[in-house]
């Protein structure tokens, strides 16, 4: 879909992916919030290369449907000067409804490619029964998506990870991986020829769920293989849910922290020259009083 001039925000001036949307004020606010937050993430992290082609990776879940609709809305309004190609990778999972996404994308007039790669057989061969398959499955899927992006002349692989995914991954790395790291909104792959983009980085998972439910998109469950994403991620999600219930808005505060890193107030000597600190040579961020002590916060 090509870049267009900006259009007015009228009720009937929407992309076909929004046709049939509820007419309620609540839904209109939700749609505008999603568009605003995705646009903000794209601009904040410099995702746009004018004239580029993006491979939009669709799983058939609520997040990828939201991603697809909002990106097309931005193009429709002349705010995203790139071409989009939607892609679903059929990985050979038992019971996968192979006709759902092709039918939906054709009805919506969305350019797409459906690819088949039986990674399921590889995963079940290498992973013991009852163990979590998600990690290996994800790596194999990513490799195939890189291949498809190169074949289609795309410069970026675009994924539907949202704010909550990013926070959960950060806490999993903190609790179990022994590092401060997460899914970045923009990443260059190891070969240096493809960007990995996450335009939903500012979007709450709950908003994706509300949007997809209101639009009645044909959701494909993510656990067709019978595997779950592991107890660690579920535990982290429960922790975040508990914090959010006690203090609404906690997730947003935590995400802001990921955008406000102070290397001088952490402990990584590779990021900050602690050994080179000299008394009497004051500089930004060198003194402990610049870092508030939050240990007593309830």
For 221-237, the pLDDT digits (tens) are 876 555 555 677 888 99
Write the DSSP string, 175-199.
IIISS-----SEEE-TTSS-EEE-T
Nearest to residue 210, comparing CAs of 243, 162, 138? 162
Backbone dihedral angles phi then psi of residue 123, each to the nearest 5 degrees:
-65, -45
* pTM of the model as a whole: 0.86
Nearest to residue 66, comparing CAs of 195, 165, 161? 161
The CATH classification number of 16-255 equals 3.40.50.620
- CA-based radius of gyration for the chain: 21
- Domain ranges, ordered by start, for the chain: 16-255
What b-and-e string marks burial along 20-54, b requiring 16 or more CB atoms within 10 Å of the CB? ebeeeeebeebbeebbebbbebbeebebbeeeeeb
Query: In angstroms, how far is the first alpha carbon of the chain from the final one?
Result: 50
pLDDT tens for each residue of 31-70: 999 999 999 999 999 999 988 999 999 999 999 999 999 9
Q: What token pair was written down for 21?
A: 């949307």
244 CB burial (10 A radius; 0-12, 13-18, 19+): middle
pLDDT exceeds 50 at position 162: yes
């Amino acid at each position: 879909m090509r870049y267009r001039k900006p259009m007015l925000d009228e009720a009937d001036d929407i992309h076909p992916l929004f046709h049939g949307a509820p007419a309620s004020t609540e839904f209109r606010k939700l749609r505008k919030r999603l568009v605003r937050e995705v646009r903000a993430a794209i601009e904040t992290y410099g995702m746009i290369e004018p004239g580029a082609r993006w491979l939009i990776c669709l799983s058939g879940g609520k997040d990828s449907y939201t991603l697809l609709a909002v990106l097309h809305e931005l193009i429709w309004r002349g705010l995203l000067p790139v071409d989009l190609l939607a892609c679903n990778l059929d990985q050979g999972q038992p019971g996968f409804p192979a006709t759902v996404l092709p039918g939906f994308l054709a009805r919506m007039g969305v350019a797409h490619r459906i690819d088949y790669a039986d990674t399921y057989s590889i995963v079940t061969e290498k992973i013991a029964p009852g163990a979590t398959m998600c990690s290996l499955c994800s790596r194999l899927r990513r490799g195939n998506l890189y291949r498809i992006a190169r074949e289609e002349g795309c410069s970026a692989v675009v994924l539907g990870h949202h704010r909550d995914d990013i926070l959960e991954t950060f806490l999993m790395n903190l609790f179990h991986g022994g590092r401060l790291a997460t899914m970045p909104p923009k990443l260059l792959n190891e070969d240096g020829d493809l960007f990995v983009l996450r335009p939903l980085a500012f979007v709450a998972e709950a908003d994706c769920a509300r949007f997809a439910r209101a639009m009645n998109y044909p959701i494909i469950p993510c656990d067709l293989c019978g595997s779950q994403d592991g107890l660690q991620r579920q535990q982290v999600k429960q922790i975040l849910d508990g914090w959010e219930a006690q203090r609404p808005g906690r997730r947003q505060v935590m995400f802001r922290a990921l955008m406000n890193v102070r290397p001088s107030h952490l402990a990584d000597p590779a990021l900050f020259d602690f050994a080179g600190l000299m008394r009497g040579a004051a500089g930004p961020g060198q003194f402990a009083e610049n870092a508030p002590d939050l240990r007593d916060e309830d």
